[in-house]
Structure 1
Amino acid sequence: MEFLRSVENWWILQSLLERIGFITGIICVLLAALNIIWNWPFAIVSTGLYIFVFATHQLYADMGQYVYLFISNIYGWYYWSRRPKSQKAIPVIRISKKQVWWSVIIIAVLSPVLGFTLTRLAPILHYAPAAFPYLDSFCTVCSLVAQIFLARKVLENWLLWVFVDIIYIGVYSTKNLQLTAILFVIYTGLALFGYLDWRKVYRKQNNIAA
Structure 2
Amino acid sequence: MIDYLFSQYRGYPTYHIILELTAIFFGLWSVWCAKKDNILVFPTGIISTLIYAYLLWTWSLLGDSMINVYYFIMSIYGWYHWSRKKGEVVEFPISKITSREKTNALIIFVLTEVFVIIVYLFFDKFTSWASYVDTFITGIFFVGMWLMAKRKIENWILWIIGDFISIPLYFTKGYTFTSIQYIVFTILAIAAYLEWKKHLVKQI
Q: Same fold (TM over 0.5)?
A: yes
Q: Are residues 1:116 and 2:114 paired?
A: no
Secondary structure at the counterpart of residue 134 of structure 1: helix
User: Aligned partner of 1:87: which letter?
Assistant: V
Please give the alpha-carbon distance, in whole angstroms, between the structure 1 residues aligned to 2:90 and 2:119: 43
Which residue number corresponds to residue 95 of structure 2?
Answer: 93
Q: CA deviation at 1:130?
A: 6.4
User: Aligned partner of 2:28: which letter?
Assistant: I
8 Å contact 2:62–2:120 — kept in the other structure? no
Which residue number corresponds to residue 107 of structure 1?
Answer: 109
Q: TM-score, normalised by structure 1?
A: 0.83
Secondary structure at the counterpart of residue 191 of structure 1: helix
Q: How does 1:44-55 map to 2 (within 5 A)?
A: 44-55=46-57
What are structure 2's unaligned runs of at least 5 residues? Answer: none
Aligned in 2, Cα 1:129/1:56: closer, same or farther, shift over 3 Å? Answer: farther
**Structure 1 residue aligned with 2:195, among 192, 197, 201?**
197
**How many residue pairs are counted as aligned between the two chains?**
194
Please give the alpha-carbon distance, in whole angstroms, between the structure 1 residues aligned to 2:44 and 2:74: 13
Root mean square deviation, CA, Å: 2.4
Please give the alpha-carbon distance, in whole angstroms, between the structure 2 residues aligned to 1:73 and 1:96: 21
Q: CA deviation at 1:115?
A: 4.6
Aligned in 2, Cα 1:108/1:129: closer, same or farther, shift over 3 Å? Answer: closer
**Structure 1 residue aligned with 2:136, among 121, 127, 138?**
138
Secondary structure at the counterpart of residue 15 of structure 1: helix
8 Å contact 2:126–2:132 — kept in the other structure? no
What are structure 1's unaligned runs of at least 5 residues? Answer: none
8 Å contact 2:110–2:139 — kept in the other structure? no
Which residue number corresponds to residue 16 of structure 1?
Answer: 18
Deviations 1:142-173 (A, max 9, x none): 11111011011101110110001011111111
User: Aligned partner of 2:60: which letter?
Assistant: Q
Deviations 1:78-101 (A, max 9, x none): 111112223257411101233224
Please give the alpha-carbon distance, in whole angstroms, between the structure 1 residues aligned to 2:137 and 2:72: 17
Aligned in 2, Cα 1:164/1:116: closer, same or farther, shift over 3 Å? Answer: same
Answer with 1 or 2: which has the greater Rg: 1
Structure 1 stretches of 4+ with a deviation exceeding 4 A read 128-131
Q: How much identity, in percent, do the aligned residues show?
A: 31
Q: CA deviation at 1:137?
A: 1.5
8 Å contact 1:48–1:67 — kept in the other structure? yes
